[in-house]
Structure 1
Amino acid sequence: MNTNPYAMHANLVVRELGKPADAFTKADLVRFIMEHDIQMVNFLYPGGDGRLKTLNFVINDAAYLDTILSCGERVDGSSLFSFIQAGSSDLYVVPRFRTAFVDPFAEIPTLNLLCSYFDKDGRPLESSPEHTLEKAARAFTATTGMEFQAMGELEYYVIRPDETAYPAVDQRAYHESAPYAKSNDFRTRCMHLIAQTGGQIKYGHSEVGSFHQDGRLYEQNEIEFLPVRVQDAADQLTIAKWVIRNQAYREGLDVTFAPKITTGKAGSGLHIHMRMMKDGRNCMLDHGKISDDARRMIAGMMHLAPALTAFGNKNPTAYFRLVPHQEAPTNVCWGDRNRSVLVRVPLGWTADVDMCAKANPLEAGAGTLKFDTALKQTVEIRSSDGSADVYQLLAGICVACRHGFEMPDALNVAAQTYVDVNIHAQENARVLSRLSQLPDSCVASAECLLLQRRVFEAHGVFSPAMIEGIVQQLRAFDDATLRRDIEGRPDQIAQLVERFFHCG
């Protein structure tokens, strides 16, 4: 009988070592490398553009392997981040052992590890993406006594040569099955590979977007993850994008995470779900209802929502998605089950009904395990998209949720920004009329961040250099009136889309 509790784990390193990834040691990885004839090690680390960079090592001998795992290596920070000057650009990248996975694309057996950045004095780089998120998570726990957990909904389009067999209905591909959806097999292959890298996946499905353009078929897909520590959520989303792009390249397909690729068709978001955990209990609920602590979390996001776009909506096409009458938010409000609000409280398993027994009569009264369905309750922020820097975005959301606990009027803010789908539309209209709006451009987003920067810099989370760098990047787009200027000009919109097609 196999006594390894991780015998079914998709990540080969976890499965073979028989322990969770956060328990990996250097000795564990050395043993795995030797026993599995691993011949190369790759360091992966996010740059200022949000994409993973790669440094390859050939394993010459045991001493060299020990050196790179212990000391990391030097990199040129000025080529990775715009806020670092060439005169003082040397940084260290040091691997985080818990992120180890076998490279599913390498012909030569290779072990990949995500890295953290350190400065010349051996301290974590204050402005690095992953350290900013680490600081945000620590500050949240110090303030609230709870652990902040998150998961992402990763939306993207798969583009392939057009075909006429079993055509899908334009913009009606939600959860569509094959053969009407042509990209389902590609998505499941990507999910399998993401799981091998350690990604904790909830499910995948075809999304609403499907259309034909210029002899090509565009199909929208989504992969949703399970809630984990917010630091791990960022790692998993970043690796998942890397996997999807690599697999698409291998299969001769194209993919894009761009927020908008043509007018009148569904854009792709990066919705983030979150919950607060303490002693194994989900603190989002209180006797089956959204708790006051969850309302404080939501209030913080309501207050800082305009500035959060600086992390989650990083190029001009993002603001072509955030327009009225779409399933993307424009008003700063929240509600239950409402997909047009900024923060949505999804349908929860709060009815205390055994639906499994109702669907499967043989299970009724058979001592069926009673699941703690309260663990499944999250809230979801819907403004961000694939242009986001995932680490900055999750750090910003974490700061906003912590800020809600520091706001003396948080519960009142939550009450004032709530939109009830069950009340009369006219009454909701009165609520909407007093709500603030999300920015409509990168330039406007930069100004919002400047107005609220002190909250993000509090507790030493976002460094002033990172805030200044983000503001400069956003202002450089000079898009204050762009959305209005090129409305109804498809050629100019197409040029903009092409420029940012491979964002994030």
Structure 2
Amino acid sequence: MNQELSMNANLVVASLQKPASEFTKADIIGFIRQNGIRMVNFMYPAGDGRLKTLNFVITNEAYLEAILTCGERVDGSSLFSFIEAGSSDLYVIPRFCTAFVDPFAEIPTLSMLCSFFNKDGEPLESAPEYTLRKACRAFTDVTGMEFQAMGELEYYVVAPDTGMYEATDQRGYHESGPYAKFNEFRTQCMAYIAQTGGQIKYGHSEVGNFTLDGCVYEQNEIEFLPVPAEQAADQLMIAKWVIRNLGYKLGYNVTFAPKITVGKAGSGLHIHMRMMKDGQNQMLHDGVLSAAARKAIAGMMELAPSITAFGNTNPTSYFRLVPHQEAPTNVCWGDRNRSVLVRVPLGWTAKTDMCALANPLEGQNHFDTTQKQTVEMRSPDGSADLYQLLAGLAVACRHGFEMSDALEVAEKTYVNVNIHQKENADRLEALAQLPDSCAASADCLQRQRAVFEQYNVFSPAMIDGIITRLRSYDDRTLRADLEGKQDAMLALVKKYFHCG
């Protein structure tokens, strides 16, 4: 038995003794037969960014073979705004590599994510998952590398305030119980996410911690490991589904909303990225950030204003992206600097063996720490369309390799100081700014749409739909209009409480 696979939390992987990427239809049928699975769920993201579910009860193997091979019809006009009711039929076909046992179902159930196909049996050009696939393929074609990503999934848990062991306001970072109230909830979420195939790095409580209207609001984070970007989007999508379902089961409310109230930490969805070739991380060269990494950063600097159209998709997003907070507003990047848009995190480039120093009984290790180096985009939040966001970032990083002045752009936008300090005012003045509303974000996307449509990655219909939706909020002056109006701000938060 393969010990690595036998320890995998995904029951299908452990049972079949093969990685999920190698699952076949015969494997799925065999697992269903041998494990008493009575139902199959097809799941797929729609235009609102949420997972939809189609249930099948399995009564015989012929029917199981049929649905796994042929998929099923769905009403595309009810899933996507850009599909007209007069010609709305789509096919959903399961992707066997995403199979997992539903941790919430009383009836033994196997779930799989699906791809969309049109009436001619071709991938739906504007489908979220297919858009990301095209973006990753174009990135590899241009650079010769694989685009990998992972997310930091931040959320608030909301429950009645018991008044016991009250946490310090806005000081919840990495807090232990009993001051952090929902650590066990988070760890149970992590266990379920791992069962669905999610590759988790770690979890912890976050800064945000306050009481409002008799309820405690506690911010938590689950961070993932870098994987191919298509898998990263799938894992984040399922993780949000898991967290919400377990919260509902336990009587907690959970929100991924960008902002809850003024003066309290908002929730981001920071995305870390790396580029891989022949199994090696290409982000470093001789212990420093590589030219390839700086080109990718330059592409993000160039397209950052329009990436908000995928990563910051409702008006409350722009109450998080305000000056002088940890959330960025200036288009710049830097090392270990949380005031910048793209951060290069601490990357294990020191030459010392810290494990041996901390543990005198250990010999010298030869762990390849270069694999851990990433760069982090800090503007997105929980309202993001996960597939569009990662597709947009793949486009931006690819675009950096196509810019003749990429390294100059990277040098010009590099910041190694706190940009908000008075002595750096001239430098701040020279930097581009992120949009301050959905309407402004739509304007940026309109100006830069050609780059996203290149190589047929984003379809024109998808870009048109995103721009139309963003402009429909009519929020160009909303941030100024609501300044100092706490009740109006809370009403806005309530409206978008369950975004994404």
Aligned counterpart for 1:440 among listed residues 436, 440, 446: 436
Q: Deviations over 1:449-504 (max 9, x none)?
A: 00000000001100000000000100100000011011111111111001000000
The one-letter code of the counterpart of 1:432 is L
Q: 1:259, 1:317 within 8 Å by CA — same for their partners in 2?
A: yes
Aligned counterpart for 2:479 among listed residues 460, 477, 483: 483
Distance of 1:11 and 1:425 partners within structure 2: 48
Q: Is the deviation greater in 429-438 or in 466-475?
A: 429-438
Distance of 2:162 and 2:170 partners within structure 1: 17
Q: Deviations over 1:147-178 (max 9, x none)?
A: 00000000000001102221110000000000
Distance of 2:357 and 2:466 partners within structure 1: 52
Give 3-state SS (helix, strand or coil) of 1:362's partner. Answer: coil
Partner residue, 1:421: 417
Q: 2:356, 2:365 within 8 Å by CA — same for their partners in 1?
A: no
The one-letter code of the counterpart of 2:406 is A
Give 3-state SS (helix, strand or coil) of 2:408's partner. Answer: helix
Q: 1:336, 1:421 within 8 Å by CA — same for their partners in 2?
A: no
1:464 has 2:460 as partner: yes
Partner residue, 2:174: 175
The one-letter code of the counterpart of 2:238 is I
The one-letter code of the counterpart of 1:448 is C
Distance of 2:423 and 2:315 partners within structure 1: 34
Distance of 2:241 and 2:272 partners within structure 1: 21
- How far the C-alpha of 1:53 sits from its partner, in A, is 0.1
Partner residue, 1:35: 34
Q: 2:138, 2:455 within 8 Å by CA — same for their partners in 1?
A: yes
Aligned counterpart for 1:374 among listed residues 370, 374, 379: 370
- How far the C-alpha of 1:420 sits from its partner, in A, is 1.0
Give 3-state SS (helix, strand or coil) of 2:139's partner. Answer: helix
Q: 2:420, 2:428 within 8 Å by CA — same for their partners in 1?
A: no
Partner residue, 2:206: 207
- How far the C-alpha of 1:425 sits from its partner, in A, is 5.2
- How far the C-alpha of 1:256 sits from its partner, in A, is 0.1
The one-letter code of the counterpart of 2:388 is Q
The one-letter code of the counterpart of 2:90 is L
- How far the C-alpha of 1:421 sits from its partner, in A, is 2.6
1:407 has 2:403 as partner: yes
- How far the C-alpha of 1:431 sits from its partner, in A, is 2.0
Residue-pair matches, total: 500
Q: Deviations over 1:1-52 (max 9, x none)?
A: x445411000000000000000000000000000001000000000101000
Partner residue, 1:293: 292
Distance of 2:119 and 2:418 partners within structure 1: 57
- How far the C-alpha of 1:369 sits from its partner, in A, is 3.7
Shift in CA distance, 98/477, structure 1 to aligned 2, threshold 3 Å:
same
Q: 1:46, 1:52 within 8 Å by CA — same for their partners in 2?
A: yes
The percentage of counterpart residues that share the same residue type is 72
Gaps of 5+ in 2: none
Distance of 1:144 and 1:404 partners within structure 2: 10
Partner residue, 1:6: 5
Give 3-state SS (helix, strand or coil) of 1:231's partner. Answer: helix
The one-letter code of the counterpart of 2:368 is D
Distance of 2:431 and 2:96 partners within structure 1: 46
Distance of 1:24 and 1:285 partners within structure 2: 34
Q: 2:284, 2:373 within 8 Å by CA — same for their partners in 1?
A: yes
Give 3-state SS (helix, strand or coil) of 2:5's partner. Answer: coil
Give 3-state SS (helix, strand or coil) of 2:442's partner. Answer: helix
Give 3-state SS (helix, strand or coil) of 2:207's partner. Answer: strand
Q: How does 1:312-351 map to 2 (within 5 A)?
A: 312-351=311-350
Partner residue, 2:277: 278
Distance of 1:403 and 1:423 partners within structure 2: 26
The one-letter code of the counterpart of 1:501 is F
TM-score with structure 2 length normalisation? 0.99
Distance of 1:493 and 1:317 partners within structure 2: 9
Give 3-state SS (helix, strand or coil) of 2:6's partner. Answer: coil
Distance of 1:101 and 1:11 partners within structure 2: 6
Distance of 1:27 and 1:421 partners within structure 2: 57
Q: 2:128, 2:387 within 8 Å by CA — same for their partners in 1?
A: yes
Distance of 1:23 and 1:138 partners within structure 2: 20
Distance of 1:17 and 1:216 partners within structure 2: 45
Distance of 2:281 and 2:422 partners within structure 1: 35
Distance of 2:367 and 2:424 partners within structure 1: 36
Q: 1:419, 1:428 within 8 Å by CA — same for their partners in 2?
A: no
1:384 has 2:383 as partner: no
- How far the C-alpha of 1:432 sits from its partner, in A, is 1.5
Q: Deviations over 1:254-299 (max 9, x none)?
A: 0000000111100000000000000111100010100000000000
Partner residue, 2:196: 197
Distance of 1:232 and 1:424 partners within structure 2: 37
- How far the C-alpha of 1:310 sits from its partner, in A, is 0.3
Partner residue, 1:19: 18
Give 3-state SS (helix, strand or coil) of 1:262's partner. Answer: coil
Q: 2:284, 2:370 within 8 Å by CA — same for their partners in 1?
A: yes
The one-letter code of the counterpart of 1:92 is Y
1:450 has 2:446 as partner: yes
**Alpha carbon RMSD of aligned pairs, Å?**
1.1
Distance of 2:338 and 2:227 partners within structure 1: 23
Give 3-state SS (helix, strand or coil) of 1:124's partner. Answer: coil
Q: 1:334, 1:343 within 8 Å by CA — same for their partners in 2?
A: yes
Q: 2:337, 2:418 within 8 Å by CA — same for their partners in 1?
A: no
The one-letter code of the counterpart of 1:391 is Y
Gaps of 5+ in 1: none
Q: 1:420, 1:428 within 8 Å by CA — same for their partners in 2?
A: no
The one-letter code of the counterpart of 2:40 is V
Distance of 1:222 and 1:500 partners within structure 2: 20
